[in-house]
Amino acid sequence: MTGHSAAASVNTVLAELFAAAAHGCRDRSPLTQRLLADAAADLAAGGVTSKIMAGSERDRAGTAPGLRFAGAVHRLVLEGRAPGLAKHYPTAGGRPDLPALWDDALPALAEHTGLLRHRVQATVVQTNEPGRSAPLYGGLVVAAQEAAKAAGRHVPFCVRLLEVGASGGLNLRPHHVGYRLGDTVLGDPDSPLVLDPGWTGRPPADLGHRLRVVGRAGCDLHPVDVSTEDGRLHLSSFVWADQLERWNRLRDALDLAAADPVRVEQSPGPEWLAGQLARAERGVLTVVWHSVVWQYVSPADRAMGRAVLADAAAKATPAAPLALLVFEPRRTDDDYRFELLLKLWPAGISLNLGHGAGHGTPFTWDVSPWG
């Protein structure tokens, strides 16, 4: 194969990944779908996209090269570097005109080829969905009350929340978020972030009790520091620009994070968890939480994570109980769905609390045994 035809063939592989990513956005983000479909054609033809993706041609599908490209372009728009393209981006006040999108993208891609190439190579796709605070809040209320019942207490436990794979940490303040249920708002009605949790049914608990969170901490392999403009832009760039509801939710969550900062530590989950779980506080329920993380965790980290948790579970007492609360996709016969699962030690409780949309809302409370 000549150098030229070898380059053409890796670009064809990449173009197929872009086309598949475009297909993955169908029905959800026509803007991203169109951008990626046009970029796929441009890649196959050896256009400017192939210069931007130079060095990333052999990246694995799992690293989502198409979404990294779309995120880098979105970030250009958010930074005000692509005014001719911004008119298509609702997150910059624009309105998509899909047939004209690619022609308006080309000048920005040509002007910022080097910057885009650098960003595509230097970033991993990174999201943080604040809507997942809604199932988390409900699950914590259930956990605090179930642990109290098992310990013979009338008052629910206070919670220490430990999040593995916290990204920017936007779900580390579930008690400071409002959750609108008809005429009432659970949690904090004065919060900058008030979610419509879209609940069918209710958590199996007394929602009149306030959730008390006395500690929270998080870790991530690639934490995003949302106290910086760079961190906020990074997270924002991966929200699809025509999903304004999600975008507004992220803005509100970033405002809340600015008012109530929590640092996310850079660490693989199991090591960090082992350190955090080494001390247990009497009168406090320690909750290990993760959402949409498990699929990304290596087999070695999974095994170590299970061992760390089993060790802490064996040491849990009625006065210093431990919970595992997770919101993760689980395979069904023909698809998968996102389920909220709770385990409590030493009570021996193991519940599937319900299932919902991937971003946490809407959610159906439907309790059954887990495992």
Give the binding site for ligand SAM (CB under 6 A): 126-129, 132, 164-167, 219-222, 268-269, 291-293, 296-297, 301
300, two tokens: 């070695």
Q: Measured from the CB of residue 247, what is the shortest distance to ligand SAM in angstroms?
A: 15
CA nearest neighbour of 345 among 174, 141, 143: 143
Q: How far apart are CA 224 and CA 232, in angstroms?
A: 8
Q: Measured from the CB of residue 223, what is the shortest distance to ligand SAM in angstroms?
A: 8
Phi-psi region of 348 (alpha: psi -120 to 50; beta: other; left: phi over 0): left
Q: In this complex, which beta carbon is closest to ligand SAM, that of residue 286 or of residue 291?
A: 291
- For the chain, strand residue ranges (E) read 158-164, 178-181, 184-187, 194-195, 199-200, 213-220, 264-266, 284-291, 322-331, 336-345, 349-356, 363-369
Q: What is the largest CA-CA distance in the chain?
A: 76
- For 241-321, strand residue ranges (E) read 264-266, 284-291
CA dihedral over 242, 246, 251, 257, signed as positive or negative: negative
Q: How far apart are CA 17 and CA 67, in angstroms?
A: 10
Q: In this complex, which beta carbon is closest to ligand SAM, that of residue 264 or of residue 344?
A: 264
Q: In this complex, which beta carbon is closest to ligand SAM, that of residue 185 or of residue 221?
A: 221
Q: How far apart are CA 257 and CA 161, in angstroms?
A: 16
CB 160 within 8 A of CB 287: yes
The torsion angles phi and psi of 64, rounded to 5 degrees, stand at: 50, 60
Q: Measured from the CB of residue 175, what is the shortest distance to ligand SAM in angstroms?
A: 17
Q: In this complex, which beta carbon is closest to ligand SAM, that of residue 54 or of residue 274?
A: 274
Amino acid at 309: L
Residues contacting 24, CB < 8 A, separation 6+: none
Q: In this complex, which beta carbon is closest to ligand SAM, that of residue 205 or of residue 297?
A: 297
CB 198 within 8 A of CB 182: no
Q: Measured from the CB of residue 142, what is the shortest distance to ligand SAM in angstroms?
A: 19
| DSSP character at residue 168 | T
Q: In this complex, which beta carbon is closest to ligand SAM, that of residue 296 or of residue 336?
A: 296
**Distance of alpha carbon 172 from its chain centroid, rounded?**
12
Q: How far apart are CA 236 and CA 128, in angstroms?
A: 9
Residue nearest ligand SAM, CB atom distance = 165
Q: In this complex, which beta carbon is closest to ligand SAM, that of residue 42 or of residue 220?
A: 220
Q: Measured from the CB of residue 38, what is the shortest distance to ligand SAM in angstroms?
A: 26
Q: In this complex, which beta carbon is closest to ligand SAM, that of residue 68 or of residue 132?
A: 132
Q: Measured from the CB of residue 129, what is the shortest distance to ligand SAM in angstroms?
A: 4
Q: Measured from the CB of residue 221, what is the shortest distance to ligand SAM in angstroms?
A: 4
Q: In this complex, which beta carbon is closest to ligand SAM, that of residue 96 or of residue 131?
A: 131
Q: Measured from the CB of residue 65, what is the shortest distance to ligand SAM in angstroms?
A: 17
* Total H helices, total E strands in the chain: 12, 12
Q: Measured from the CB of residue 219, what is the shortest distance to ligand SAM in angstroms?
A: 6
| DSSP character at residue 342 | E
Q: In this complex, which beta carbon is closest to ligand SAM, that of residue 56 or of residue 127?
A: 127
Q: Measured from the CB of residue 123, what is the shortest distance to ligand SAM in angstroms?
A: 12
